[in-house]
Structure 1
């Protein structure tokens, strides 16, 4: 993975921020005062802003810069650029025309961002109705409601910036948010400790690329609902968020080359999924591609407290291809590496096929179940190089404490086509089919070194088993294995 951002620790990052006061004296600046980005070649015009040596009666020239960023925005022509000196600006920004607001670092490295915005009112920076806005090199500290909000058909590129510690206002509290047919591109940006989502997209378009989104306190690191067009999430670090690393509801999305790790729940038995995809009659259809045909498209989904990847609802569709799904579901929260539930995969794809396609993944060392297919969901599970090392966790089955640790579990009317997988070294058995649909097919798989046997089949009529290789034959369970719809 290339071009990834790094910082030593969150504490060090926050401690390093400059705390210089806002400028704005009545005196005129000297010609040499301030450090600015180069003027963009195609900018319609340029104005200058300096917190330390700008004048309240400045004219926006490099000799007489404005004292506030909003002055520069207001004075800029459409397609113009506002070049901002390093410093702290205690103001809210409202952008209603195409303009660029640029810090001095033209490389767009968030660790070199130099414009500090400390907004006194909610929604620190708002882009409304304006297209082709560029925000680069900005640090938004402890904004209320949102650090950057794009709405009402506005569009903005947010590059090389940081949003830190967004606090809640009503239902918001997001680092960056887009709504009302707005559109955002977030690139090489760090978003930390938002009380809501790190990035919140509702009825809007979005691309989030090569960014770090950590420690969001509610909803998800990235939350996408009713997205406009296909939302793209590429090569991000998404970790230590609450409830979900990425949540997609009623939207189309492509998710490639991300690291989605260590999602936590808000309380006992809470949700804590690396990637969660929901689609039903109320929120609409979701189609999500997680990974892709090229090996470099893989996501690493690791250490999330409930499920690594979850698809849920009769209008949830998609593929899970060439990912690493490792160490998800802790020993207290029921979950799985990959969990397909509640009729997911039953809505026809464009070619009229059905089923969530799970192919060529490494699914290893998850608790309870490597892949779970439950509650009338449908899955196509083919050519996964490893469904292995599932760690046992305790459940109550028919009132009896029972430990499960299975490579694959298909339950409660669900169906799965399982072909050409390596299923090995799981704590209990390779695969369990309990109360599953009679449409299940299990062919050409290899079962090795599963602790209590290869396959358990119970309360299932018509299961097709053919041409599987196993080091031991299927065994009948010595203890109850029932897992009903409330268990998973």
Structure 2
């Protein structure tokens, strides 16, 4: 075929494709390229340079900075324990320090009420030694935190407020000052429980924190398949008198073992030790198929599974505790300390002791 004819056919092809509505993509168009950060480089500069939907890969090394993410769809990925993010060294702070650093946090994903940040992924890295939180999120939707180690942070290991559809999976949170994983409606104001629209906390390892998982004034989430040990308390579901009430969640398939660390009282909470699962001011929560062993203490909140009237008087209502293996916990494996609450049921639980007596399966 002669060159003239070939040129004609090419022109016809392009015109036909356009007429049929097909997109003609310039050869230069491509998915956002990866930003690669090497030791000595800045993760924040790479995040700033990445487009929405881009990826920042952080190579092995120790990075002394805080990272603020406000772009949707961004992925921040390290190399597991070999990628470590720690606070800037004393005297190294500059006027350019971001609000994440100013708040004492390691990695922050932050939107606003009118500009939610969607679908950020944080994977395979370690955040350690921050004054407040290892990972902090506010006003997000679809945040995924996977295979992150958060250790030795002053308050929370991984924390989320005012957010929906979070996915926290296969993380390790150890020796954090408060909860290993913390989910709340808001940390700065009172109000009814937030519907998290199916936030999932699954297959994490939570050791040596004040509390393994705290779900405070939230609804509609799953806490499943986690190993929770060596904390002062394993799982703490916190509600108050606000409406809607906290609850409508499932706590299932967890191994909650020997959470016997002692934590002194705070202005908001009595001393805690030896608590497996505590529900205060919760409604319609299902606690099922957990293994809860050897949680021992002598505080008002000690025991295997405990319903406790909240400190502001909110009652537990319509909660279901079923098919759990609860053994070796003291002062009791099961305890209903909220006898004024209505509709709470304990069925088919394998246990040795209960208060009041008679709640263990025969």
TM-score interval, smaller chain = 0.5 to 0.7
Aligned twin of 2:228: 387
Shift in Å, 1:443: 0.6
Aligned twin of 2:306: 456
Shift in Å, 1:433: 0.5
Shift in Å, 1:178: 5.4
- Tell me if structure 2 keeps the 8 A contact 1:406–1:430: yes
Aligned twin of 1:119: none
Q: 1:317 aligns with which of 165, 169, 172?
A: 165
Q: How many Å separate the matches in 2 of 1:240 and 1:470?
A: 41
Q: How many Å separate the matches in 1 of 2:37 and 2:287?
A: 48
Q: 1:222 to 1:213 in 2, by over 3 A?
A: farther
Q: 1:263 to 1:441 in 2, by over 3 A?
A: same
**1:435 aligns to 2:281 (yes or no):** yes
Q: How many Å separate the matches in 2 of 1:473 and 1:256?
A: 37
Q: How many Å separate the matches in 1 of 2:175 and 2:212?
A: 9
RMSD across aligned positions (CA): 3.0
Q: How many Å separate the matches in 2 of 1:211 and 1:465?
A: 45
Shift in Å, 1:263: 1.1
Return the TM-score normalized by structure 1: 0.46
- SS of the residue aligned with 1:304? coil
1:64-463 matched pairs, under 5 angstroms: 157=35, 160=38, 162-163=40-41, 176=45, 179=48, 182-183=49-50, 205-210=54-59, 212=61, 214-216=63-65, 221-225=66-70, 227-235=71-79, 236-240=83-87, 242=101, 243-249=104-110, 250-264=117-131, 272-279=132-139, 285-291=140-146, 298-313=147-162, 315-329=163-177, 335-342=178-185, 346-347=195-196, 354-367=197-210, 369-384=211-226, 386-390=227-231, 405-412=232-239, 413-415=245-247, 416-427=249-260, 428=273, 429-436=275-282, 438-451=283-296, 452-458=302-308, 459-463=315-319
Q: 1:328 to 1:378 in 2, by over 3 A?
A: farther
Q: How many Å separate the matches in 1 of 2:229 and 2:61?
A: 30
- Tell me if structure 2 keeps the 8 A contact 1:233–1:253: no
Q: How many Å separate the matches in 2 of 1:317 and 1:326?
A: 24
Q: 1:364 to 1:278 in 2, by over 3 A?
A: same
Between 1 and 2, higher relative CO (CA 8 Å, sep ≥ 6) is seen in 2
Return the TM-score normalized by structure 2: 0.61
- Tell me if structure 2 keeps the 8 A contact 1:340–1:378: no
- Give per-residue Cα distances to partners, 1:167-205, cap 9 Å, x unaligned: xxxxxxx962655xx527xxxxxxxxxxxxxxxxxx784
Q: Where does structure 2 lack aligned partners over 5 or more consecutive residues? A: 1-27, 89-100, 111-116, 187-192, 240-244, 261-272, 297-301, 309-314, 339-362
Shift in Å, 1:426: 1.3
Shift in Å, 1:156: 8.3
Q: How many Å separate the matches in 1 of 2:67 and 2:85?
A: 8
- SS of the residue aligned with 1:257? strand
Q: Between 301-310 and 451-460, report the one with greater CA deviation.
A: 451-460
Task: Tell me which structure has the larger Cα radius of gyration.
Answer: 1
Shift in Å, 1:346: 2.2
Q: How many Å separate the matches in 2 of 1:371 and 1:159?
A: 32
- SS of the residue aligned with 1:176? helix
Q: How many Å separate the matches in 2 of 1:301 and 1:324?
A: 6
- Tell me if structure 2 keeps the 8 A contact 1:387–1:422: yes
- Tell me if structure 2 keeps the 8 A contact 1:323–1:361: yes
Q: Where does structure 1 lack aligned partners over 5 or more consecutive residues? A: 1-130, 133-153, 165-173, 185-202, 265-271, 280-284, 292-297, 330-334, 348-353, 391-404, 479-488
Q: 1:288 to 1:383 in 2, by over 3 A?
A: same
Q: How many Å separate the matches in 1 of 2:207 and 2:39?
A: 36
Shift in Å, 1:382: 1.0
Shift in Å, 1:159: 5.2
Aligned twin of 1:473: 333
Aligned length: 246
